[in-house]
Copies of this chain bind each other. A is one copy, B any other.
Amino acid sequence: MQDPLKIIQDYVRHPSISTDPEAKEGMVASRDYICNLLSSLGFKTEIAETPLHPLVLAEREGDSSWPHVLLYGHYDVQPADPLELWSSAPFEPEVRGNRVYGRGTADNKGPQIAMILGLARALEKHPDLPVRITVMIEGEEEIGSPSFPGFLEKYQDRLKQADLVILSDTCSPSIDQVTVTTALRGLMALEVTLHGPNVDLHSGLHGGPVMNPIRALAKLCASLHDEQGRVAVPGFYDTVIEPEAWEREQLAALPQDEGTYKQSLGVPAFTPPEGYNALESIRFAPTLEFNGITGGYQGEGSKTIIPSKASVKITCRLVANQDPKDIEAKVVQAIKERCPEGVRLECRVDAGAEAYCVIPPGKPNTPKDQPAVVAKAFTAMDNAVKDVFGKAPLYLREGGSVPIIAQIKTVLGLDSLMLGLFTPEDNLHAPDESFDLTLMQRGIETYEKVFTELGK
């Protein structure tokens, strides 16, 4: 078998920033790289065209009586800016200590390769393993997977035959305690621009009667949270389902200390919304975050202007049973009602994503009609993790979003088994993103066991 580290490094070297129209070359190279790797491992590969970035499909066919597993990953990555905060070039992966650094090492190229190589190892040892596989590696995860629903519709006859989805694009607390993710937050995204005067104005000649768009935007943004840190939009929490007792217990078992966590982030205090402690708020509560704000003079020194406009990028993380369209309507309505006088409001809405929830076998509230292959896969994962890591996984809701998981549930009716193969130390979406090499090895071993067991 090829060296997993070398494969990850070669994969990361292609800057596949899906949000950046100028990164087309890196997108194509990254896609070709994973396609060729899957071919070399014996899969029948195919490029599934989409309106934007194509998916890579890879197939291992077999008897219709065999379990059929979909594997998911994404070859696109987040932008790398601010570049000046990286210790080494984001697309020249470098090993320092027991980690490989680079944009995409942890999200999602590293974990994805661990999963694929674990499967490859199982197939190498058991060439006749009675398991059918369809690998789907998409190129739009970091921009909300706009083409994925269309892909699912187009390929649903083939994909619906499967029993479940397996993937690693979620987080574990540490390399010694992995989690199986039982829920993902959904997403709602919009950009608000307030337009004031038609050009930037001299603040001396015009300052007084003119509403400053930054002032108006600050007032608008400030109105979206209350004094208790909760989102101050009417009806925002109406459909939220609070966690079950066993979920709170699993979270309490997390080997995570709030003080250490706070220190690692470098923040002076945590300010979770009322009703949740700091750790609970990530996994059980929805949020409204400002991802970027801009307006007026951006250079050095001062410039005495009233800017002609100001804008803010907003995303909400949603929990299970919150409908992105419903939340979008409520947030936009609140923004319209609260827009200060003297400016003109422009509101651009991006594609949202549903939240998702699955209940593992053997829990008090496991659905009675859970398919046998799903139960077998979750049990195989539980056993494999116990073998490789020396302790059972924790079953936890996750704060992040993998938009396509809920779409797969809706369109194909399939649940997902998600093993967390990155950790909070990995700096996802931030400078100095990295992936732990021990976790890489353990991931490969775990997946080898899961796929071998599924074939029994």
Measured CB to CB, the residues of A under 8 A from B are 19-21, 78-79, 81-82, 85, 143-144, 171, 185, 187, 189, 191, 196-212, 214-215, 217-225, 265-273, 276, 278-283, 285, 287, 289-307, 310, 312-313, 315, 317, 340-344, 350, 398-401, 424, 427-432
Contact = CB atoms under 8 A, between A and B. Distances in A.
Contact of A199 (B201, B399, B430): B430
Contact of A201 (B198, B265, B312): B265
A72 B264 CA distance: 56
B222 A282 contact: no
Nearest to A107: B202
Top 6 nearest A-B pairs (CB, nearest first) are A204-B400, A208-B281, A198-B266, A218-B221, A292-B296, A209-B278
Copies per complex of this chain: 2
A202 B429 contact: yes
Best-buried of A301, A317, A401 by chain B (most CB within 10 Å): A301
Given A79-B299, A268-B343, A399-B205, A290 B85 contact: no
15 contacts: A20-B299, A79-B297, A171-B205, A199-B432, A200-B430, A202-B400, A205-B424, A208-B273, A208-B283, A209-B270, A210-B267, A218-B219, A292-B295, A302-B315, A304-B429
Contact of A315 (B21, B203, B270, B428): B203
Contact of A203 (B287, B310, B340): B287
A144 to B, nearest CB: 8
Contacts of A292: 214, 295-298, 303, 305, 307
Given A203-B317, A209-B282, 20 more contacts: A21-B300, A85-B199, A143-B302, A189-B302, A189-B304, A199-B430, A203-B315, A203-B429, A205-B282, A207-B282, A207-B287, A208-B273, A210-B265, A214-B290, A214-B293, A215-B221, A217-B293, A218-B293, A267-B343, A291-B304
Given A214-B221, A317-B204, A430-B199, A289 B306 contact: yes
A374 to B, nearest CB: 25
Best-buried of A171, A291, A298 by chain B (most CB within 10 Å): A291
Given A209-B270, A271-B211, A342-B268, A303 B197 contact: no
Given A199-B430, A303-B19, A429-B200, A287 B208 contact: yes
Contacts of A424: 205-206
A328 to B, nearest CB: 13
Given A265-B201, A344-B268, A212 B290 contact: yes
B209 A279 contact: yes
Nearest to A18: B301
B294 A302 contact: no
A312 B298 CA distance: 9
Contacts of A185: 204
A313 B301 CA distance: 9
B207 A143 contact: no
